[in-house]
Chains A and B, each alone.
Chain A
Amino acid sequence: MTPTTSPSSAPDSRASAPEQATSRRGRGVGSGRRGRGLRTTLNLPASAALGVSVLWFSLLVLIPLALVFVAAGEHGLGYMWEVLTNQQTANAIRLTLTAAAAATAVNIVMGTLIAWVLVRDRFPGKRLIELLIDIPFALPSLVAGLVLLSLYGPGSPVGIDVLGTPYSVFLAVLFVTLPFVVRTVQPVLMAMDEEVEQAAESLGATRATNFRRVVLPALAPAIAAGATLSFARGVGEFGALVLLTGNRPNVSEGAPIRIQSYIEVDNTAAAASVAVFLLLVALSAILVLDLISRRVSRHA
C-alpha cells in the first residue's frame, strides 16, 4: 500500500557479500552476482517454490487477465472500436476520464497541502487526521458510496444532492483517491532538509519563491507518482459508483458500470473491449510510476 517503494528495487548489494562467503562453504545459495543476465542463485527448494508460485500467479492473475485481451480482440479491432464509440459507452468513458482527471487535479493541490500540514505543522488531533486520510483505503468502496450518499444524496442535511448527476462520479473518485498524493508526498517532505529553505529565505527569497523554486521541484516526482496512482484508481473505481451515482445512462454512468451492464447481458466481448481500455490506462500508470521512481532513485 506504500506506492513510493519501487516494487522492483533489487535486493541491496549488502546481501551479496555474505552470500558469496557461504557459497564457498558449498551451500549453493549465492554463486556470485556478476552475470546479471541469466545467472540464477536458486537452489532446488527455491526453484520449486518459485515454480509453484509462478504457476499459481499465472492461474489466478495472468491467464485470466490475458483472456480479457483475447475476448476484446475476438471480433477484431473494428468491433472494439464500434463498442468504444457507441454513444452510451463513449459518454461513460468520457465521464470516467473527466471525473478521474478532475479528482486528480484536486488531489494534487489538496493532497500536497494535507501532506505539508501533517509533516510541518504540529497540532493536537494530528493522529486523527492521519486516520481519516487512510479511511478511503480501508473502507469498502461500496460502503464509501453509501457513506457519501448519506451526506450528499437525497435528504442531504447540507442540501447537496449529487445522485444522478455527473458530479456523483467526481465525488466518488475524489473520496477513494484521497490518500494517494498525501501518502506519496509525505515521506519525501519528511526527508527534505529544511536548511535549504532557510538558506533561500536568508538570501531574501520570499515564501512564494521559496515554495516555487525550492520545495516544489523536490516534491514534483512524488506528486506526479501520487497523481498517477490517483488517476488510475479513479478510472477503475466501481464500488463507490454503484450506489452513489444512480447510473443514469449518458449522464452519471461511469465506464466500469458500463462493463458490468455488458457482462449482465452476456456480451463479454464488449465488456472486454471497455475493460482492455481501462487495463491500458492502469498499465500506463504503472509504467509512468516506474519511470518516475527510477529517475528519483538515480538522483538520490
Chain B
Amino acid sequence: MPETAQPDAAQPDAARGASALRTPAQRTGAEGTIRDDLGRGLNLRQLLVVVYLFLLVGWPLWRVVQETFFSGENYLVSALQDPAIQYALQVTLAATAWAVVLNTVFGITVGILLVRYEFPGKRALSALLDLPTSVSPIVVGLSLLLAYGPIHGVLGGPLFDLGIRLIFSFPGIVLAVTFISLPLVLRAVVPVLQEVGTEQEMAAKSLGASGFQVLRRITLPSIRWAAAYGIVLTLARAVGEFGAVVIVSGGVVGQTETATIAVQRLHQGFETGHAYAVGFLLALIAVAALVIVTILRPSEKR
C-alpha cells in the first residue's frame, strides 16, 4: 500500500513523455506558450486523479492497516483467537461456498440457454436477471423476510409449520448471499459463449457426440476461465454482504452472526481494534479477489 504515492513521484516524467508525443501536432500551428500550458495541463489532470483516488480509497485503506497492526497491539492475532469471530468467519465462508456452488450451476445453465437457444420471453428473462445486483441489499433482506419469514412469510409460514426454518437461521443467510450475487457468473460466461460460437460444438455433434458429451468436452472447457472470473466476483460479493444478511440472519452471536455483522457489533461495542482487524481480513479477501480477477481478465479475452 505505501506505493500509493508512487505515481505521484513519477509524474513529471510521464507528463514530459506525453507532451513530447504531442509536440509535432503542436508545432504546426501553436507557439511555445501553448505547448507549455498543455504540458502543465497534463500534469495537473494526472495529479488530480492520483490525489483524488489517494484521498478517497488509498489512504483510508492504509488507515485500516495502521489501526489493525500499529495501534498498540496486533489486533488481527487476538481477533482470530476470539471464538465468536472464528465462528462468524466460518458462517461467512460456508454461506459463500453455497452461493458459489448455486450461482455457478445457475449461471452456466442459464448462460448456455440464453446464448444457444431461442425461446419466448428470453429478452425479458435476461433483463430480469440483472435485478439482483441493482436492488438495494436492504430491500433484498426485506423481500426474503416477506417471502420466507416464519411469521409474515407467505411461503415461510407454511414451511415453518412443517418444521423448516429458513429466516433467522443459516439457510436464510445462504438465500441472501445467493440472491445478491446471482447474475455474476452468468454475466461473465455469456460474452465468452457468444464469442466462441458453435462451430466446435457442431463439429463434435456431427462426429456423433451426445449432447452431454459436447457440454462436458467442448462447451464447459471453453468457458472455464470466464466462469472462474465470475466465481471470484461471486465470492467477493458474498463474503462482504451485509445489508441483506443483517435482516435475515438475526445476527445471534455464535449462531447466525456473519463476519460483516461481527464488524458492526465489535465497532458498536467499542472493540475498535478487533472491528478493524476483521475489516482488514475482509478487505484483504476483496483485494485478493481483485488481483485474481485482473490476472484472469486477459486470459478470458484470448
**Residues of chain A within 8 A of B117, CB atoms compared:** 40-42, 46, 50
Chain A residue with minimal CB distance to B11?
A: A123
Docked-complex contact A140 and B241, CB < 8 angstroms = yes
Chain A residue with minimal CB distance to B259?
A: A140
CB-defined interface of A10-30 with B at 8 Å, one 1/0 digit per residue?
111011001101100101010
Docked-complex contact B260 and A142, CB < 8 angstroms = yes
Q: Which candidate, A161-169, A185-193, A198-206, A212-220, is the interface stretch facing chain B?
A: A198-206
Partner of A123, one of B14, B113, B134, B191: B14
Partner of A122, one of B11, B14, B282: B14
Given known contacts A2-B187, A129-B50, A146-B267, is B116 in contact with A15 (CB within 8 Å)? yes
A202 to B202, CA, bound (A): 51
Say yes or no: is B101 at the interface (Cβ < 8 Å to chain A): no
Q: Which candidate, B74-82, B83-91, B176-184, is the interface stretch facing chain A?
A: B176-184
Say yes or no: is A132 at the interface (Cβ < 8 Å to chain B): yes
**Residues of chain B within 8 A of A242, CB atoms compared:** 242, 264
Say yes or no: is B240 at the interface (Cβ < 8 Å to chain A): yes
Docked-complex contact B290 and A135, CB < 8 angstroms = yes
Docked-complex contact A174 and B56, CB < 8 angstroms = yes
Docked-complex contact B119 and A238, CB < 8 angstroms = no
CB-defined interface of A238-261 with B at 8 Å, one 1/0 digit per residue?
110011000000000000100110
A60 to B103, CA, bound (A): 12
A203 to chain B, nearest CB (A): 10
Say yes or no: is A268 at the interface (Cβ < 8 Å to chain B): yes
Say yes or no: is B162 at the interface (Cβ < 8 Å to chain A): no
Docked-complex contact B152 and A268, CB < 8 angstroms = yes
Docked-complex contact B247 and A65, CB < 8 angstroms = no
Docked-complex contact B283 and A201, CB < 8 angstroms = no
How many A residues touch the partner, as a band? 35 or more
Given known contacts A7-B130, A146-B276, A147-B279, is B198 in contact with A19 (CB within 8 Å)? yes
B contact face: mostly helix, strand, loop, or mixed: helix
**Residues of chain A within 8 A of B59, CB atoms compared:** 151
Chain B residue with minimal CB distance to A114?
A: B49
Say yes or no: is A61 at the interface (Cβ < 8 Å to chain B): yes
Docked-complex contact B139 and A275, CB < 8 angstroms = yes
Docked-complex contact A113 and B45, CB < 8 angstroms = yes
A contact face: mostly helix, strand, loop, or mixed: helix
Docked-complex contact B202 and A131, CB < 8 angstroms = no
CB-defined interface of B128-155 with A at 8 Å, one 1/0 digit per residue?
1111101111111111111110001011
Chain B residue with minimal CB distance to A151?
A: B60
Say yes or no: is A272 at the interface (Cβ < 8 Å to chain B): yes
A174 to B11, CA, bound (A): 26
Docked-complex contact B46 and A1, CB < 8 angstroms = no
Partner of A45, one of B50, B211, B233, B264: B211
Q: Which candidate, A76-84, A85-93, A282-290, is the interface stretch facing chain B?
A: A282-290
Docked-complex contact B25 and A61, CB < 8 angstroms = no
Docked-complex contact A138 and B287, CB < 8 angstroms = yes
Docked-complex contact B286 and A135, CB < 8 angstroms = yes
**Residues of chain A within 8 A of B236, CB atoms compared:** 138
CB-defined interface of A141-163 with B at 8 Å, one 1/0 digit per residue?
11100111011100001000000
CB-defined interface of A90-132 with B at 8 Å, one 1/0 digit per residue?
0000000000000000000010011011000111111111111
**Residues of chain B within 8 A of A275, CB atoms compared:** 136, 138-139, 142-143
Chain B residue with minimal CB distance to A141?
A: B242
Docked-complex contact A50 and B113, CB < 8 angstroms = yes
A138 to B293, CA, bound (A): 11
Docked-complex contact A259 and B139, CB < 8 angstroms = yes
Docked-complex contact B142 and A198, CB < 8 angstroms = no
A178 to B275, CA, bound (A): 24
A225 to B162, CA, bound (A): 47
Chain A residue with minimal CB distance to B201?
A: A18
Say yes or no: is B33 at the interface (Cβ < 8 Å to chain A): no
Docked-complex contact A232 and B134, CB < 8 angstroms = yes
**Residues of chain B within 8 A of A134, CB atoms compared:** 290, 293-294
Docked-complex contact A10 and B25, CB < 8 angstroms = no
A262 to chain B, nearest CB (A): 9
A259 to B239, CA, bound (A): 23
CB-defined interface of A46-84 with B at 8 Å, one 1/0 digit per residue?
100110111011011111110110110000000000000
A178 to chain B, nearest CB (A): 7
**Residues of chain A within 8 A of B191, CB atoms compared:** 5
A142 to B137, CA, bound (A): 12
Partner of A141, one of B28, B139, B190, B240: B240
**Residues of chain B within 8 A of A49, CB atoms compared:** 109, 113
**Residues of chain B within 8 A of A52, CB atoms compared:** 109
Say yes or no: is B52 at the interface (Cβ < 8 Å to chain A): yes
Say yes or no: is B161 at the interface (Cβ < 8 Å to chain A): no
Among B113, B115, B147, B182, max chain A CB count under 10 A is at: B147
Pairs A–B under 8 Å by Cβ, sample size 25: A15-B197, A22-B206, A42-B113, A46-B113, A64-B179, A123-B46, A124-B6, A124-B14, A128-B6, A129-B49, A131-B291, A138-B290, A146-B64, A236-B136, A242-B242, A243-B267, A256-B137, A259-B136, A268-B146, A271-B142, A272-B142, A272-B146, A279-B139, A283-B134, A286-B130
| In the complex, the 7 A-B pairs of residues with the closest C-beta atoms, listed nearest first | A140-B240, A236-B136, A123-B14, A125-B7, A64-B143, A138-B286, A150-B63
